[in-house]
Amino acid sequence: MRSSPLKTLLTTLLGWIVAFALFFPIFWMVLTSFKTELGAISTPPEVFFRPVITAYQEVQARSNYLHFALNSILISVGGTLVAMLLSIPAAYAMAFHPSHRTRSTLLWMLSTKMLPPVGVLVPIYLLFRTSHLLDSRIGLIGIYALMNLPIVVWMLFTFFREMPKDILEAGRMDGATTWNEVVHLLMPLTLPGMASTALLSLILCWNEAFWSLNLTSSSAAPLTTFIASFSSPEGLFFAKLSAASTLAVAPILVFGWISQRQLVRGLTFGAVK
């Protein structure tokens, strides 16, 4: 679309202002985490100061960050893998061989996402206790996979359905078996879609707090538990809380930034008809 230079300048400016405004809280959190506890609450707030890492040292001294980070990584990756492995065949079946039950199956899956998790906490808790899954990574992986299954199936279904039917038809004409069809046509063509679905699932797993707070205590606890342990009990230690928050979100943030192109492109690809 062509537009006048002035309009261009204005949109750019506006875009940047909005982007900065939205980013500011995160910027401020990171900034505060490098202050001393006293500097963090000085009025007016310091913008230029000598950065120190005492807040990080204190956080690390109180709880072992790497232990929680490792749990977060293992559980998120595990949950995403399980969800993808279960969803790909299901989405394939529903996208390419739809039956009259497909729509209601999809709806049913989505409806399970609507129940506030606190509603099924007690049954799941008791289920976990009897099967010794409390505070275990395997248990959380199962829960996370289930939590993301509906979205993963829906997204994959959309991506698969957007795939040009003619290509599959042509493949079938040439005598491709279902296996060949999947491996040589479907997989390569929908790879961006699958990648972006997996990315989304990873992010959702990483950020999930309700189940991890209620079903883990220490050995399987991910970073959401880590941040919560700093959040409530004591007063507001600005620098320490900022450092803990930064530590909890940093890995997924960097990961999101790196894969953003893929994430956005994937979603856009799914939209192009």
Among 75, 140, 145, 220, binds another protein (CB under 8 A): 145
Question: Which positions from 177 through 236 interact with another protein, judged by CB under 8 A?
Answer: 177-178, 203, 206-207, 209-210, 223-224, 227-228, 230-231, 236
- The nearest distance, CB 28 to another protein, in angstroms, is 6
Report the distance separating Cα 149 and Cα 105, nearest Å: 13
Of 214, 201, 199, the C-alpha closest to 121 is 214
Q: Which of residues 14-33 bind another protein (CB under 8 A)?
A: 14-16, 18-20, 22-23, 25-26, 28-29, 32
How far is residue 85 CA from its own chain's centroid?
Answer: 17
Provide, rounded to whole angstroms, the least separation between the CB of residue 219 and another protein: 20
Kindly identify the residues of this chain, within the stretch 79-118, that bind another protein according to CB under 8 A. Answer: 86-87, 89-90, 92-94, 96-97, 99, 103, 105, 107, 109-118
Rg value, the chain, Cα? 23
Under rule CB under 8 A, residue 248 binds another protein? yes
Q: Dihedral of CA 96/97/100/103: which sign?
A: negative
Q: Which long-range contacts (CB under 8 A, 24 or more apart) does 160-167 make?
A: 160/91, 160/92, 160/95, 160/96, 160/186, 160/190, 160/193, 161/95, 162/193, 162/269, 162/270, 162/271, 162/272, 162/273, 163/95, 163/189, 163/190
Per-residue mark of binding to another protein, 39-68 (x: CB under 8 A): -xx-xxx-----------------------
- In the complex with another protein, which residue's Cβ is closer, 64 or 111? 111
Binding to another protein by residue 260, rule CB under 8 A? yes
